[in-house]
Amino acid sequence: MKKAKVLVIAAAALGIFTGCSKFEPDGTAVLAGKNGKVTAVVMEALDQSYYDSTELQNLINTSVAEYNASAGTEKIKVKKFQASDQKAELTMEYAGGADYAAFNDVAFFTGDILSAYDAGYSFDTTFQKIEKGNVVNASVNRSEVLNSYNYYTVILEEPMEVQVEGSLVYVSSNVEVTGKNTCRVLASGSTASTSAEETENSTMEDGTVVLSPTSVTGTRSSESELAYIMYE
């Protein structure tokens, strides 16, 4: 699984490899808004013997400026960059999922289910039905999901936390629900361990689902590697 986040790209260039709800993730995560905007937070450990924070920040700013110049308008903003104690945190805002996909060279889509299907996403996987942040049915077929074509969706390949501006209604089996509007995309080959029976017997609580963003044109992964998140 490729790690195509901008901070990692910048680190590589320097030879370094060693949901309105508040969006305050503890690690790398994305927030998908209903207006199409995507906010991404990247947190990475850096080898202090290799990196220079000023050089790293300049490289990030240059990459963003070049992308915006090519787009003819400001599609990406660097909202925050901080490097200290061998850790770096970067917050970026993308005008849409397509910009996130293109800039990071990954599969990433945000929009409604019908638009995603028209864009070539087949939804050919097993889904979990979510109510109030809990899994109530762990084996939902694609027909039921596609019939709910007016829901918003985030489709991505990177394992990370995702938060949506709304409430989760369906997620694919490779997504672990962590709250009402937050979830975690699992690494390739993994599936969420929470069963519907276990969830129905648990206490309903408000939470946050981790996830991601808008119409995407990045590198398309195979269907089995994609994570689907639907919300309203």
Q: What is the pLDDT along the chain (232 residues), one digit of tens a residue?
A: 444 455 544 444 444 333 356 898 999 999 999 988 999 999 988 766 666 788 889 999 999 999 999 999 999 999 999 988 888 899 999 999 999 999 999 999 999 999 999 999 999 999 999 999 999 999 999 999 999 999 999 999 999 999 999 999 999 999 999 999 999 999 876 677 654 444 333 333 433 333 333 333 444 556 668 999 999 9
Residues 87 and 206: beta-carbon distance below 8 Å: no
- Tell which of 48, 70, 104 closes a domain: 104
Report the predicted TM-score, pTM, of the whole model to 2 decimal places: 0.77
Tell me the residue range of the domain where 173 lies. 108-231
- Contact (CB, 8 A) for 171 and 148: no
- Tell me, what's the pLDDT at 5? 52
pLDDT for the residue numbered 221:
54
Helix (H) or strand (E) holding 51: none
Q: In this structure, what are the phi and psi dihedrals at residue 134, rounded to the nearest 5 degrees?
A: -125, 145
Pairwise CA distance, residues 5 & 84, whole Å:
19
Decide if 1 is inside a domain: no
Residues 192, 121 share a domain:
yes
pLDDT for the residue 193:
61
Exposure string for 130-151, b = 16+ CB within 10 A, e = fewer: beebbbeebebebeebeeeeeb
Claim to verify: residue 112 and residue 71 sit in the same structural domain? no
Burial bucket for residue 193 (CB in 10 Å: 0-12, 13-18, 19+): exposed
| 86 found inside a domain | yes
- pLDDT on residue 85: 81
Tokens of 154: 């985030």
